[in-house]
Amino acid sequence: MTASSRPLILEACVETIQQGLLAEKKHADRIEFCQRLDLGGVTPDHDLIRTMINKITIPVKIMIRPRGGDFIYSDSEIDRMKSDIKYCKSIGVEEVVLGALNNDGEVNYSITQHLAKLAMPMKVTFHKAIDEVSNYMNALKTLSTMQNIDSVLSSGTKENALAGKEYIKIASEEFSETLNIIAAGSITNTNLKEIHSELNIKEYHGKKIVGDLILKEYNKRR
């Protein structure tokens, strides 16, 4: 089956339970749950993670990121990430989203691989830290050799998916056997058709991928 003939998977990025419920109502195929989207997303509180996976029937990914800012982590931050991964695994989360870089702007192989193995049997997506690396294709090649890295979330090193379309297309073709490339970056329900016509991949991610997740709209329809 070709990419163009496969059904699209729309992943909604949400930061509240209510947004998750509305995204599901609007036919999102999957949720990525994080808090502080103004910081690029961090790990939600544990009680909120449990509530989310208990209330949502579609698959839910959980962001594993201890803070905003760069992706170079201290030992204590790595310990916190390990703890969050163990918690997610203990309550039945299906997939987590994580990533770590080193001071040279490369994927931190040892930390990322350790966290990915720790997450098993949960699946792992490497997040948009990939767009901060010094050599995009080399970083993808590194990730493709790791155990339990299933997907990569990327805007092709650019501000948005449309601007980064060339890298996203190349990545999805070159690593089709080892990595699932999920396009991200200002993708909404209004421009999805245009972006898909350019990329022709299977999975797309965004805060407005199924439209605005406005709480007053959700409350009116309950």
Does residue 2 lie in a domain region?
no
Does residue 162 lie in a domain region?
yes
Sign of the torsion angle spanned by Cα atoms 174, 176, 179, 180: positive
Map 85-135 to HEC letters. Answer: HHHHHHCCCCEEEECCECCCCCECHHHHHHHHHHHCCCEEEECHHHHHCCC
Amino acid residing at 137: M
Give pLDDT, residue 31.
97
Give pLDDT, residue 2.
43
Give pLDDT, residue 6.
57
Tokens of 21: 């419920």
Rounded CA-CA distance 73/4 in Å is: 39
Does residue 216 lie in a domain region?
yes
Tokens 């999975």: give the residue: 203
Q: What is the CATH number of the domain that holds 65?
A: 3.20.20.380
Does residue 3 lie in a domain region?
no
Does residue 4 lie in a domain region?
no
Amino acid residing at 108: N
Give pLDDT, residue 7.
83
Number of domains observed in the structure of the chain: 1
Give pLDDT, residue 214.
76
Does residue 145 lie in a domain region?
yes
Rounded CA-CA distance 45/21 in Å is: 18
Does residue 148 lie in a domain region?
yes
Does residue 160 lie in a domain region?
yes
Domain that holds residue 180: 9-221
Tokens of 43: 């790990």
pLDDT in tens, the chain (222 residues): 344 455 899 999 999 999 999 999 999 999 999 999 999 999 999 999 999 999 999 999 999 999 999 999 999 999 999 999 999 999 999 999 999 999 999 999 999 999 999 999 999 999 999 999 999 999 999 999 999 999 999 999 999 999 999 999 999 999 999 999 999 999 999 999 999 999 999 999 999 999 999 765 445 545
